[in-house]
Amino acid sequence: MPITATVNGVRQSCNAPPEMPLLWVLRDTLGLTGTKYGCGIGLCGACTVHVDGAATRACLAPLSSVGGKQVTTIEGLSPDGTHPVQRAWQAEDVAQCGYCQPGQIMAAAALLAKQPNPSDEDIAAALVGNLCRCGTYQRIVAAVRRAARLQKGEALAR
């Protein structure tokens, strides 16, 4: 039985084994390579996506766990890269190698959706599972704060 989920707004049916991690379905079956492999065991956050809006480690989520759900990857966070978090990430010039950044951005976006005014502790708690070997942490925190301000500005403008 194929498993059906909505990925970045598109309904996808997949015949892969139900225990196949979402990470590899995204990357190798659907060709959505923005979601990265770093550790495979939930320790690095490079594979973070949203499942029904919640930050989820795609390397640990079996395909069967997303049946009927909404999956959002970095490619689907915004149509044109203008999500407040994506804009803030560019404004703070966060990325070094950039490999961890899709995961960082997805974790940050999930945090801000839940908590529009996160404290520094909230930010650290939401991102503590996302490793960055290049050491961009100082800018990541600055970018989350900036994204919160941008998001607030947008909410006011609406």
Binding site for ligand FES (CB under 6 A): 37-40, 42-47, 57, 59, 95-101, 132-134, 136
Q: How far is the CB of 153 from ligand FES (least distance, A)?
A: 27
- Among residues 2, 71, 63, which one has the least CA distance to residue 35? 71
Helical packing angle, 137-157 and 84-91, nearest 10°: 130
- Reduced DSSP (H G I as helix, E B as strand, rest coil) percent helix, strand, coil of the chain, to 5: 40, 15, 45
Residue 34 or 40 with smaller CB distance to ligand FES: 40
> Where on the chain is the footprint of other proteins (CB under 8 A)?
16-17, 20-21, 23-24, 27-29, 31-41, 43-44, 46, 73-75, 77, 81, 86, 89-91, 93, 95-102, 105, 123-125, 127-141
Residues 81, 104 contacting (CB under 8 angstroms): no
Q: Which does 47 bind (CB under 5 to 8 A by kind): ligand FES, other proteins, none?
A: ligand FES
Residue 141 or 152 with smaller CB distance to ligand FES: 141
Q: How many Å apart are CA 64 and CA 114, to the nearest integer?
A: 25
Residue 28 or 154 with smaller CB distance to other proteins: 28
Q: How far is the CB of 30 from other proteins (least distance, A)?
A: 11
